[in-house]
Amino acid sequence: MPRLSQSPRDPAFVQNPYPFYDKLRAAGPLVVWDELSMPVAAGHAEVNALLRDRRFGRENPFPMEPEPHVAPFYEIDRLSLLDREPPEHTRLRRLITRAFTPRTVEAMIPDIQSLSNSLLDDLEPGDDLLAKFCERLPVIVICRLLGVPEDRADDLLRWSHDMVAMYQIRRDRRIEDTAVASTQAFRAFLETYLAERRAAPRDDLISALIAAEEDGEKLSAYELIATCILLLNAGHEATVHALGNGIRTLVQTGQWHAHDPAKLTEEILRHDPPLHLFSRYAMQDVEVFGHSFAKGEQVGLLLAAANRDPAVWTDPARFDPTREPGPQLALGAGLHFCIGGPLARLEISIALPILIDRLPELELAETAVFADRWHFHGLERLPVTFRT
């Protein structure tokens, strides 16, 4: 198997990883990325196939006990839908989708519209659009969806950022300790609202998750907590950076004007998605694309590289909001397709047209810089100028 080397923390790579992805794709269907110590797939056909291959999964078939100092984090994380396999994944997903329905998502349309406008009412030239709009919108939507106070949005944002850092290349002991503290705070926060909703259900997602039942089974207390945390962390982080990356690209390419919302949303997710790597474990000894994987061996699936495969898209590096949507993989595929994907798409497709309409002469106040946290791909900040 070919091998290639590239530090994920190299500044040039952080700002533009796509040239290296092109090298990986050209080198073969599977290439060992030395710094990740695993084979990776960068072509669309390979990534798509592996996402759907049930011989690979998210749950380590040889689980190891976490070190004591991070045990509280993994006590919740291991119950997340994201890291479970059938039959537990099947049970969890069915219960969650009974509560988190398409109707639930569609009912958020007026909230997303009004919230987008109210956030823009408070925006001043020179403000950081990432902090004042891209971050605020999805976290407040999640607050309203769950039925928790919006004035705790800053806490939820902090807890989300701290916990998601556990999946990043830059992880160290300080990040681990901070993530554990935020996990415990988040759990305590949710336990209060779970107890309240059990006593007095309301028309919100927490109440619906508590009530969800199939064949006599319900979500356990910790599964409820893990699900609420996943909805915030995964859904929020993805939407924030899809919006930020999309705004940056639209302005830089001179395309800051009205577009078809559905096509615009899909092209933003395709061209520069917020999540670049999703890994899988071989659940059995298996041979694929000429490589024999031993049970428990990992493979990295480069979603962003697959989304720029010239075998699928003409001139894939070009951002084209008029492009007909194709089989982009920003939200995954197969068993673990992002459960919050419809909400993320809805938020982007509503918020961006409102932003473009309200601020037609928006410009970047400084060069937009990507943060050193690959494989999550998002900006550090996004200061903008505009005429009032």
DSSP 141-175: HHHHHHT--GGGHHHHHHHHHHHHGGGSTT--HHH
How far apart are the C-alpha atoms of 235 and 339, rounded to whole Å? 9
Q: Are 291 and 30 in contact (CB under 8 A)?
A: yes
Binning the chain into helix, strand and coil, the percentages to the nearest 5 are 55, 10, 35
Q: What are phi and psi of 307, to 5 degrees?
A: -75, -10
Question: What tokens appear for 22 in the block?
Answer: 């092109």
Q: What is the dihedral of CA 81, 305, 276, 367, to 10 degrees?
A: -150
What integer pLDDT is reported at residue 217 of this predicted model? 84
Shortest CA distance to 104 belongs to which of 134, 133, 141, 138? 141
Count of H-run helices and E-run strands, the chain: 16, 10
The set of residues, in sequence order, having a beta carbon less than 8 Å from that of 212 and lying 6+ positions away, is 95, 96, 98, 99, 218, 219
Give backbone dihedrals phi and psi of 229, rounded to 5 degrees, phi first: -65, -40
The alpha-carbon radius of gyration of the chain (Å, integer) is: 21
Secondary structure, 3-state, 101-115: CHHHHHCCHHHHHHH
Residue 331 is given by DSSP the state T
Instruction: Decide: residue 342, CB within 10 A, 0-12 exposed, 13-18 middle, 19+ buried.
Output: middle
Hey, what are 86's tokens? Answer: 């059938």
Which domains are delineated in the chain? 3-385 (1.10.630.10)
Measured CA to CA, the distance from residue 168 to residue 163 in angstroms comes to 10
**Amino acid 100: pLDDT:** 86
DSSP state of 261: H
The pLDDT value recorded for residue 309 is: 98
270 vs 263: CA distance, rounded Å: 10
- Three-class SS state of 40: strand
Greatest Cα pair distance in the chain: 62
Low pLDDT (below 70) residues in the chain: 235
Q: What is the reported pLDDT for 30?
A: 98
Check if the beta carbon of residue 333 is closer than 8 Å to that of residue 50: no
Cα 359 to its chain centre, rounded Å, is: 27
The dihedral built from the CA positions of residue 275, 277, 281 and 286, taken in this order, carries a sign that is positive
What DSSP letter does each residue of 68-106 carry, written as one string?
Answer: GGGHHHHHHHTTSGGG--TTHHHHHHHHHHHHS-HHHHH
The C-alpha atoms of residue 352 and residue 185 are separated, in whole angstroms, by: 33
State the chain's mean pLDDT as an integer. Answer: 94
Query: Quick check: 62 and 170 in contact, CB under 8 A?
Result: no
In degrees and rounded to multiples of 5, residue 287 shows phi and psi of -110, 130
C-alpha distances (whole Å) from 342 to each of 76, 234, 258, 376 are 25, 13, 22, 20
Q: What is the spatial distance between Cα 279 and Cα 79, in angstroms, rounded to a whole number? A: 18
